[in-house]
Structure 1
Amino acid sequence: MTRVLLVTGLPGAGRTTVAAATAVAAARAGRRTLLLAADGTRDVDTVLDVSVGADPVDVLPGLTVQRVAVRAEFEREFLLVQGRLGAALGVVGVDPLDPEEITVPPGAGDVLALRVLARAVDSRRHELIVVDLPAAERAVPALAVPEGLARYVDRLLPVERQAARALRPVLAAVAGVPMPDDWVYDTARRVAAELEVLRALVAAPTTTVRLVVRPGTVALAAARRAASALSLYGHRIEDVIVNGVGAADSPDPAVRARAEVARETVDALCALFPRVPLAQIPVLTAEPLGASELADVAVHFGPVGPGGAADDDGHTIERDGERLLLLLPLPGTDRDDLDLLRRGDELVITIGPHRRLIRLPSALRRCLIEGAGLRDGVLRVRFVPDPAVWMRASQ
């Protein structure tokens, strides 16, 4: 199966440089590699000194580079939907838009990049795909879109309602109201299937994240927020790269001071990610450009591994006497930003601007929440058997 590495991090931390260096090193090691530029910039062109477009281009033996053509992707999908709505638009007197009138809404490009990634994975031409994502504050919400939208589609047109279209003439006669046309169900089914492909791709154990940060107090605080959000959505962090670590033995006092800040940042990140490899890229005398210089950068961090083990969205369940504990690692989470509630068979977890609904396993659905706590970067939710449910089950 194709290995996917998502490279994100903090603004100005050198994400594109690390992504390109990772791809160059992998190709030189003999892995068929695709570098997918999905950050909405042309920085990859500058770093690799090549012209990259929507069509894949081979820049080195074993290395292909491609850019996400956001406008073309959005226009294709918009025109498809508009074509299906053609008759309805004519009824209400709305003229369809011409391609040159279509503009891409903010944020759409980040989500459309996942569709391009899915096609690249499906092609099976590459052993490794390195994705140069935007900063984490943009990348994390985009990665969460397939799961969130799938929930909305299911609520609007659930499987039971789609099955009812076979009885549409009877229902329309009985209810006295028109039923949705076939294209509504067909579109919903197509969207749901595509969202499931994207969700599975993002959640796959072969998809991991390489987080790139720079030394500093502000950067460390941002790294904590990024770690918290990534963990909430179950993303596996492959490693953390600290870019721009100064020399502690420099004769220049200013350099030594920056090196001390870097050391404190590294120590804090090691505590934040105790089981995640952490690599350091020193302060370079010049900006690395071209494949040779990027390969020199890649020696400071390890190659892309095989991927993580499959798990249940990052959470585990343990037994504590009669209680059941749901454990969810949330490194970097501030207790004041955390909110938790149960809604039916789902656990709703909110951390700042991020929210995720986790479907409870069958054993926990028959339990009540006794309490919860955040300790050492792990959310522990305590469940006790619901007497009413368990008594009915035992009768």
Structure 2
Amino acid sequence: MLLGPGGSGVSVLAAAAALHDSERPGDRTAHSPVGVQLGTEGGTLLVSLDSRSYLPERLGVMRLPGQPVPVTANVDLLQLDSLEILEAAWRDFTAALTAVGGVKQVLPLVGTLASIAPGELTSMPGAQEFLVLRQIRDAATAGRWQRVVVDLSGVGDPYAVLRSPMVLSAALERLWPRNARLAEASEKPTVAQLSAALEGIDRDCHDLTELLTDPHGVAAHLVVDAGDRGVRAAADHLAIIDLMGIPLRSVLVNAGVGGPGSVDDATAAVVNLLHNDESVTVTAIPRAAKGLDRLSRINRIAVELPKPAGRPRGSGALTVAHVSGEGLDSIFEMTWKQGLPDPNRLELGRSGDELLVTVSGFRYPVTLPSVLRRCVVTGADWHDGTLILRFVPDASVWPQKSGKTGR
């Protein structure tokens, strides 16, 4: 998946990468180089989440949102309209609610929801983005394409989109806790169908969250322009990518957009931000000689995206160490590699089994390992690109050793 600040050329480079990375018919295989089976026929699917994107015109194909359109013998374009997907899902949802007799009396809120027509919807934060991601996942596992290139530009905040399954799952838990809905479903048959539907959505939320941070099947690529704006934005983007545990594989420094600036200087600055991380390649994309307004010109841009490396990054590779003490006197440290452009904007909070971490104005819940769920945070430090959080046991819930008994 390709993402980056608006105006950095993400869409064009995503299209160029899909065209460059597509296989010839005779070379098609059933598995990706890292052994993750994405499809059985081969070929590449280019996905655009922007319903207003000019990609169809630039690639010379019809604009058919929601339907794969052939671009070349080995590349298809799928342009998604998030509002259209939301409306279709809402029709199915309200139809299911209407079909369940008596559920409106049991849960009055259901009747209110069922009365909302699809045409009245404008957006549903979390749900809308979740549905789009689920459709991309379903396309990737349909057995039609070997690889999928996702253009995340044109959606406002791409990280909010990638965070949406976790947000929706948390919202469902707050609105109707899982233990409560399962208990009600067992006692009230009229609720069972609705409970099962929500259970399926929650499973999809967890599945998507795991998929998007899976370093074996997903590779992320950050696109920034070669000007000063791009370098400044790169620091924040890399920090958020670390926080979310997104498996970053490359940074593309695009000299074809942005203001004045040296592409060599920008590339060196990005390498420095990455602390010379050898698992992430930094590539300079030169300015095209002509406008990129047609397929033949986009096809001349040589963009080769590194494959998934199988190594987790950022919070996805966090470690926990018992540094001293025993029992209630124990001290634990949780660490991960974390970019931090502005240490003053680092904030920490706690919600149940999750640590709420805010970096560069972006908040993300990091699930605590089991041993730390009965602990409290006592301090935090950041040193040489590593975030260090210290924990001590919470005396009210920490298991106590039973005393000796006997005569």
> Which TM-score band (shorter chain)?
0.7 to 0.9
1:123-179 C-alpha deviation (Å, 9 max, x unpaired): 02211100111268511011101012112223433342233225536xxxxxxxxx9
Normalised by the length of structure 1, the TM-score is: 0.81
> 347, 362, 377: which is aligned to 1:354?
362
Deviation, 1:61, is 2.0
* Count of residue correspondences: 367
Distance in 2, Cα, partners of 1:198 & 1:375 = 32
Q: Which residue of 2 aligns with 1:117?
A: 136
Deviation, 1:105, is 2.2
**SS at structure 1 position matched to 2:388:** strand
Instruction: Report whether the alignment pairs 1:285 with 2:293.
Output: no
Deviation, 1:13, is 0.9
**SS at structure 1 position matched to 2:336:** strand
> 308, 316, 320: which is aligned to 1:313?
316
Deviation, 1:324, is 3.1
Instruction: Report whether the alignment pairs 1:264 with 2:272.
Output: no
Deviation, 1:230, is 2.0
Q: How has the CA–CA distance of structure 1 residues 41 and 284 changed in structure 2, closer, same or farther, with 3 Å as cutoff?
A: same
Instruction: Report whether the alignment pairs 1:67 with 2:83.
Output: no
Deviation, 1:340, is 1.1
**Does the CA contact (< 8 Å) of 2:94 and 2:113 recur in 1?**
no
Distance in 2, Cα, partners of 1:93 & 1:128 = 42
Give 1:314's aligned amino acid. A
Which runs of no fewer than 5 residues in structure 2 stay unpaired? 28-41, 326-330
Distance in 1, Cα, partners of 2:112 & 2:311 = 54
Aligned identity (percent) is 25
Distance in 1, Cα, partners of 2:115 & 2:369 = 46
Q: Which residue of 2 aligns with 1:19?
A: 14
Deviation, 1:290, is 4.0
Instruction: Report whether the alignment pairs 1:45 with 2:56.
Output: yes
Normalised by the length of structure 2, the TM-score is: 0.79
**Does the CA contact (< 8 Å) of 2:236 and 2:341 recur in 1?**
yes
Q: How has the CA–CA distance of structure 1 residues 37 and 343 changed in structure 2, closer, same or farther, with 3 Å as cutoff?
A: closer
1:83-98, aligned counterparts within 5 Å? 83-86=95-98, 88=104, 96=115
Deviation, 1:48, is 1.5
Q: Which residue of 2 aligns with 1:157?
A: 176
Which runs of no fewer than 5 residues in structure 1 stay unpaired? 1-5, 170-178, 247-256
CA RMSD of aligned residues (A): 3.2
Deviation, 1:95, is 9.1
Distance in 1, Cα, partners of 2:213 & 2:401 = 34
Q: How has the CA–CA distance of structure 1 residues 167 and 32 changed in structure 2, closer, same or farther, with 3 Å as cutoff?
A: closer
**SS at structure 2 position matched to 1:187:** helix
**Does the CA contact (< 8 Å) of 2:348 and 2:355 recur in 1?**
yes
Deviation, 1:338, is 0.9
Distance in 2, Cα, partners of 1:283 & 1:160 = 56
**Does the CA contact (< 8 Å) of 1:216 and 1:265 recur in 2?**
yes
**Does the CA contact (< 8 Å) of 2:226 and 2:255 recur in 1?**
yes
> 297, 304, 307: which is aligned to 2:301?
297
Deviation, 1:242, is 0.5
Deviation, 1:20, is 0.5
**Does the CA contact (< 8 Å) of 2:290 and 2:297 recur in 1?**
no
Q: How has the CA–CA distance of structure 1 residues 233 and 335 changed in structure 2, closer, same or farther, with 3 Å as cutoff?
A: same
